[in-house]
Amino acid sequence: MLPVKKTARIFNIQKYSIYDGDGIRTLVFFKGCPLRCKWCSNPESVESGFQVMKQQSLCDDCGICVAACPKNIHKMRPMIDGEKEHFIDREISCSGCRICEESCPKNSLTVMGQDMTVPEVMDIILQDMLFYMSSNGGVTLGGGEVTYQGDFAVELLAECKQNGIHTAIETCGYTKWETMKKFVEVTDLFLFDVKHFDPERHRELVGARNERIMTNLEKLFQAGANISVRMPLIKGLNDSMETLKTTVLYIKKIQTNGHLKSIDILPYHKLGVAKYEQLGQTYPLQDVDMSYTDDELEEIRRYMAQFNLPIRVVKH
Ligand code: SF4
Ligand code: SF4
């Protein structure tokens, strides 16, 4: 009998990134996340299932995808003027066959999610060995939430390590310690999100309390992991000086000397809004002005300087 084919659902592999770790990196994005952050800029990453994104402005309602889709997800409906328009029935689950994507003459459709094996992902990663070596770069796994498909991710990271590639993961930390601890041996750097220190406020903002996340962070420090803590800065939601101070002092208390690489404060933006529309969803923070002025960020920078920690305010 053939061995069971082990795959993970990946929604993007981005090469030549200079974010999410040092040097030039390949980023592998896993589909599926246990949290529901209101500001998520990758809404296509949240659900584990395949999803179709549609660029409405390209579609001319030709109906070709309607005839092509074996699951009857693409449909036509009448408009007031008597013409018909195309829409996607998002109640029906998509099989990811990609027939609609390939058949659309206007390139209006993109199917998010592809099931890939470790060798398939490694083939792409290994193409850029020269860049990793010349820039002290490597590979970063993100998502979605990478621990959601933990066994596959650990296997992929182990394969990277065997090839001498620096490894990082970006994680929300919301998983069992039994899963998280498997990453310690194969991950050179954890980019670990702390979104709010208060458990109840955390639940309001992302759909789950944070005790499990904070415990995992403490245990990772105890296990000797190298960690950059990332704090997304969302205007009016988690950016009071009091909240930032409490979080930073907590990290100062639990860190193990030498293993806290940085605390990165990341002012958020609305870059993902168009993707919500393409998924037929509404952006939860539609009416929130999320932009920070340079003066506001400078004030946060100055305030943070008092804590004597490697804190950076990073504007992408
Ligand atoms: S990927 Fe396949 S199942 Fe999904 S919407 Fe397209 S044609 Fe239908
Ligand atoms: S095939 Fe493309 S252009 Fe035609 S209805 Fe479907 S999405 Fe629109």
Instruction: Give yes or no for residue 99 CB within 6 A of ligand 1.
Output: yes
DSSP codes joined into one string, 161-212: HHTT-EEEEEE---S-HHHHGGGGGG-SEEEEE---SSHHHHHHHHSS-SHH
Ligand 1 contacts CB of residue 109 (under 6 A): no
User: Is there a binding annotation on residue 69?
Assistant: no
Read off the pLDDT of residues 159-183 as tens digits, 9 standing for 90 and up.
Answer: 999 999 999 999 999 999 999 999 9
Q: What is the largest CA-CA distance in the chain?
A: 70
Beta-bridged to residue 264, according to DSSP, are: 230, 312
In a 3-state reduction of DSSP, which class is residue 218?
Answer: helix
In a 13 Å sphere around the CA of 190, the CA atoms on its Cβ side amount to 29
257 half-sphere exposure, CB direction, 13 A CA radius: 0
Mutate to test the pocket of ligand 2, among 57, 58, 62, 102 (most ligand atoms within 8 A of CB): 62
**Mutational pocket test of ligand 2: of 52, 56, 57, 61, the residue with most ligand atoms within 8 Å of the beta carbon:** 61
Residue nearest to atom 3 of ligand 2 (CA): 59
Per residue in 123-134, pLDDT tens? 999 999 999 999
- Report whether the peptide linkage leading into residue 164 is cis, meaning its omega lies within 30 degrees of zero: no
Is the pLDDT reported for residue 270 higher than 70?
Answer: yes
94 annotated to a ligand binding site:
no
Tokens 């919301």 correspond to 174
User: What are the chain's domains?
Assistant: 8-48+114-313 (3.20.20.70), 52-110 (3.30.70.3270)
**Nearest CA to 193 among 178, 176, 212?**
212
CA of 109 to the centre of ligand 1 (A): 10
| Mean pLDDT score, 27-55 | 96
Q: Render pLDDT for 218-259 as a digit per residue (tens, 0 to 9).
A: 999 999 999 999 999 998 889 999 999 999 999 999 998 789
The two tokens of residue 17 are 């990134």
Question: Is residue 111 lining ligand 1, measured as CB closer than 6 Å?
Answer: yes
Ligand 1 atom nearest to CA at 109: 6
